[in-house]
Amino acid sequence: MLVSKVREALICLKAGRVTLGYPFAPNDPKPGFRGKVTVDPDLCFGCGGCANVCEAGVIVVSDREQHYRLLEFFWGRCTYCARCEEVCPEGAIRLSGQFETATDDARDLCMRLEVFMGPCQRCGRCFPPPTPLDKMMTTGFRHGLEGGRA
């Protein structure tokens, strides 16, 4: 019994330190670590692809006005799956190496991003009309047909 314990102690001493020094020493995550999600507002063009694939419902997209799209992020729901990063065509949304996300202010877990959307030069709208009825009421889609409908 004693011999086996001594042997165990020797093995442990030989192995040296096997735990991280964090939080007493900095901890740099390895490449590929999936930490806090960051969004670059200069790269995002509001396509909504990230919101489409986010199963956790972190990203909510709404069109409040004709010329801007609102993206709301509720980070408290994030599961760090990285699907948003995979689909973003601009590399605007990324998972960083930041893992210290605890906060005592719930506002830190929400983010709003207003993205300017250029309207169509012909019809003045940003996106296809949501319903066939709206589509019928929209004029100016066809060339050479004044007041024509789409």
Q: Select 128 or 148, whichever has its Cβ closest to ligand SF4.
A: 128
Q: Give φ, ψ of 15 to 5 degrees.
A: -70, -25
Question: For 69, what's the count of Cα atoms within 13 Å in the CB-facing half-sphere?
Answer: 19
Start-end of H helices in 16-59: 49-53
Least distance from C-beta 104 to ligand SF4, angstroms? Answer: 22
The strand order across the sheet containing 110-116 reads 59-65, 68-74, 110-116
Least distance from C-beta 56 to ligand SF4, angstroms? Answer: 4
Least distance from C-beta 23 to ligand SF4, angstroms? Answer: 24
Residues forming contacts to ligand SF4 in the complex (CB under 6 A) are 37, 39, 44-50, 53-54, 56, 58-59, 78-84, 87-88, 90, 92-93
Q: Select 48 or 97, whichever has its Cβ closest to ligand SF4.
A: 48
